[in-house]
A = this chain, B = another copy of it.
Amino acid sequence: MELKRPGHERMFQWVQMCRIDLERPGLGNNTADVERLKRGLSQALQGDEVDVPWRIWKDLPSVLRRCDFSVTALVFRHSDHWRVMDVLPDSPPKPKYALGVDLGTTTFVCFLLDPGTGATVAEKTVANPQIETGPDILTRIHYAGTGDGLDHLRQMARDGINRAVDSLCMETGIAASDIVVAAVAGNTTMTHFFLGLDPSNIRREPYIPVVNRPGWIPCRDLGLNLHPESFAYVFPNVGSYFGGDLISGILASGMHRSPDICFLVDVGTNAEVVLGNSEWLLACAGAAGPALEGGVAKMGMLAGDGAIEHVRIDPDTLEAVPSVIGGTKPVGICGSGLIDLVAELFSKNIIDQRGKIRALDHPRIVETDSGRAYVVAPGETTGHGGDVLVSQVDLDILLRSKAAMYTILTTITEEVGITFRDIRRFYVSGTFGTYIDPKMAIRIGMIPDLPLTTYVPLGNSSALGAKAFLLNRNRLDEVMEIAGKVTYLELNVNQRFMTLFSAAKFIPHTDPSLFPSVKLEHRGG
Query: Which residues from 317 to 372 on chain A have a C-beta closer than 8 Å to any C-beta of chain B?
Result: none
Q: Does A57 contact B (CB under 8 A)?
A: yes
Instruction: Indicate if the CB atoms of A58 and B208 lie closer than 8 Å.
Output: no
Instruction: Indicate if the CB atoms of A32 and B211 lie closer than 8 Å.
Output: yes
Instruction: Assess A34 versus B210: contact at CB under 8 Å? Given A58-B196, A62-B198.
Output: yes
Instruction: Indicate if the CB atoms of A35 and B213 lie closer than 8 Å.
Output: yes
* Cβ contacts A174-215/B at 8 Å (1 or 0 each): 000000000000000000000111101100011111111110
Q: A29's contact among B34, B195, B198, B206, by CB below 8 Å, is which? A: B206
Q: Does A171 contact B (CB under 8 A)?
A: no
Instruction: Indicate if the CB atoms of A33 and B195 lie closer than 8 Å.
Output: no
Closest to A154 in B: B58
Bound CA span A201–B32, Å? 10
In the complex, what residues of B have CB within 8 A of residue A29's CB? 206
* Cβ contacts A210-248/B at 8 Å (1 or 0 each): 111110010001000000000000000001100000000
How many A residues touch B, CB cutoff 8 Å? 37
Q: A33's contact among B35, B57, B210, by CB below 8 Å, is which? A: B210
Q: Does A416 contact B (CB under 8 A)?
A: no
Bound CA span A132–B205, Å? 62
Query: Which residues from 22 to 64 on chain A have a C-beta closer than 8 Å to any C-beta of chain B?
Result: 25-27, 29-35, 54-55, 57-58, 60-62
In the complex, what residues of B have CB within 8 A of residue A200's CB? 61
Query: Which residues from 239 to 280 on chain A have a C-beta closer than 8 Å to any C-beta of chain B?
Result: 239-240
Quick one: copies of this chain in the complex? 2
Bound CA span A57–B29, Å? 46
Closest CB in chain B relative to A496 CB, distance in Å: 20
Closest to A221 in B: B54
Instruction: Indicate if the CB atoms of A61 and B201 lie closer than 8 Å.
Output: yes
Main secondary structure of the interface of A (DSSP, over half): loop
Instruction: Indicate if the CB atoms of A34 and B211 lie closer than 8 Å.
Output: yes
Instruction: Assess A211 versus B27: contact at CB under 8 Å? Given A62-B198, A217-B54.
Output: no
Q: A210's contact among B32, B197, B207, B209, by CB below 8 Å, is which? A: B32
In the complex, what residues of B have CB within 8 A of residue A207's CB? 27, 30
Bound CA span A211–B37, Å? 10
Most central of A32, A60, A221 by chain B CB within 10 Å: A32
In the complex, what residues of B have CB within 8 A of residue A31's CB? 208, 212
Closest CB in chain B relative to A88 CB, distance in Å: 17
Bound CA span A13–B119, Å? 50
Instruction: Indicate if the CB atoms of B34 and A212 lie closer than 8 Å.
Output: yes
Instruction: Indicate if the CB atoms of A197 and B30 lie closer than 8 Å.
Output: no
In the complex, what residues of B have CB within 8 A of residue A198's CB? 58, 61-62
Instruction: Indicate if the CB atoms of B61 and A210 lie closer than 8 Å.
Output: yes
Closest to A29 in B: B206
Instruction: Indicate if the CB atoms of B57 and A239 lie closer than 8 Å.
Output: no
Closest CB in chain B relative to A419 CB, distance in Å: 29
In the complex, what residues of B have CB within 8 A of residue A195's CB? 54, 57
Bound CA span A217–B25, Å? 26
In the complex, what residues of B have CB within 8 A of residue A209's CB? 32-33
Query: Which residues from 383 to 397 on chain A have a C-beta closer than 8 Å to any C-beta of chain B?
Result: none
Instruction: Indicate if the CB atoms of B57 and A27 lie closer than 8 Å.
Output: no
Instruction: Indicate if the CB atoms of A32 and B206 lie closer than 8 Å.
Output: no
Bound CA span A197–B54, Å? 10
Closest CB in chain B relative to A205 CB, distance in Å: 7
Instruction: Indicate if the CB atoms of A205 and B27 lie closer than 8 Å.
Output: yes
Closest to A33 in B: B210
Instruction: Report 12 cross-chain contacts, Cβ distance below 8 Å, ordered by A residue.
Output: A32-B210, A32-B212, A33-B208, A33-B209, A35-B211, A54-B195, A54-B217, A58-B197, A58-B198, A61-B197, A61-B198, A61-B200
List 9 A-B pairs, minimum CB-CB distance, nearest first: A32-B212, A34-B211, A32-B209, A27-B206, A25-B208, A33-B210, A61-B198, A25-B206, A32-B211
Chain A interface residues (CB < 8 Å from chain B): 25-27, 29-35, 54-55, 57-58, 60-62, 195-198, 200-201, 205-214, 217, 221, 239-240
Inter-chain pairs besides A30-B207, A30-B208, A62-B198, 5 sampled, C-beta below 8 Å: A25-B206, A30-B239, A33-B209, A35-B213, A58-B197
